[in-house]
A and B are shown apart, each in its own frame.
Chain A
């Protein structure tokens, strides 16, 4: 899901960067008000964990393709949307600058997709299912899957708007692959959440808190 340099149009790159800067400014404002210093190491650990997990591409059975975790649904479940944007932005920026994973000119768009859209989509799922009878494991699986597919749809729209390929082809192809990859995202998110709960890795340490 890391978009390289040279593919999207300058207009889309600029638009992505502007939206990301505006949202991140709001994220910083939110954390100035709400982010306790005691929560910072816990979030840092989760950032490091997500960086590590993103390195492990899992094969898509029967296809010469792979996928890897984004982690937006995982962090959003534990910390809520605004803190998650900071975690994911740290990961995506280090990947682009230090490891050449995701283009530097695309950094704004990659942040928009993986650090903002993915956790936002997951947070919407959490909001919708919070008061339902759906078990946590099922809810985080759904949130993981939805976050990947919605992010893929945005990536496809960015390709279409850049006149790289038609919207229809981009949407079909990207959503198809990521509907499969999303299963991996859902399963990993569902597997990690119980361990994070056991470690009380929630913002403010309050169990069952979903913001």
Chain B
């Protein structure tokens, strides 16, 4: 399945990169955060655990906030809010 990036609501997006290995999930996450507006939320779906480490570090460095981390049988769903400035 190819990656998808969809607008789910006003200021809410979904990035689905399940099936992808490094570095694709973190690269798509970075690109997605660059595209959306400050304060917008991206729900990212991925299943490559090592990408989680990189995404968490990247968010910390950028100042973006990870609002929620869910795990469903190897599938990871993280909700990330882009920093205001």
Q: Do A and B associate with each other?
A: no
* A interface residue numbers (CB < 8 A to B): none
